[in-house]
């Protein structure tokens, strides 16, 4: 069974025909809505002082920064390293005690 569907994604005043996984439809539409809402926010803030391209660049930057912050926050490597270090210490301790 093919779990992909074709939808018309409305975003930033444009329509994009896309093929997505059926399970992702709600998230994909919500993401497009976020882009449109943020674009509207920037348009309201800057009005005619900036071009459409500049507005879209600001939106891309906003989401990129948000992504980078989330990626940094979810970085588990320091925790894994600390767990490994503590495990090594515990193993050394128990070897000494045996």
Per-residue confidence band for 1, with pLDDT thresholds at 50, 70 and 90: low
Domain positions in the chain are 4-97
- 63, pLDDT greater than 80: yes
Lowest mean pLDDT among 21-25, 52-56, 82-86: 82-86
Backbone φ, ψ for residue 75 (5° rounding): -75, 110
In this structure, of 34-48, 49-63, 77-91, the range with the lowest mean pLDDT score is 77-91
Q: Please, are residues 36 and 12 in contact by the beta-carbon 8 Å criterion?
A: yes
Q: Which residues of 6-32 are buried (b: 16+ CB within 10 A; e: fewer)?
A: eeebebeeeeeeeebeeeeeeebeeeb
Q: The whole model's pTM is what?
A: 0.69
Calculate mean pLDDT across residues 36-53.
94
């Amino acid at each position: 069974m093919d779990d992909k569907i074709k939808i018309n994604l409305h975003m930033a005043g444009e329509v994009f025909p896309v093929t997505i996984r059926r399970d992702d439809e709600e998230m994909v539409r919500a993401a497009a809505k976020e882009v449109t809402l943020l674009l509207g926010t920037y348009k309201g803030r800057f009005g005619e002082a900036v071009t459409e391209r500049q507005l879209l660049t600001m939106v891309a930057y906003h989401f990129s920064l948000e992504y980078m912050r989330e990626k940094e926050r979810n970085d588990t490597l320091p925790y894994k390293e600390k767990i490994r270090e503590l495990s090594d210490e515990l193993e050394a301790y128990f070897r000494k005690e045996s």
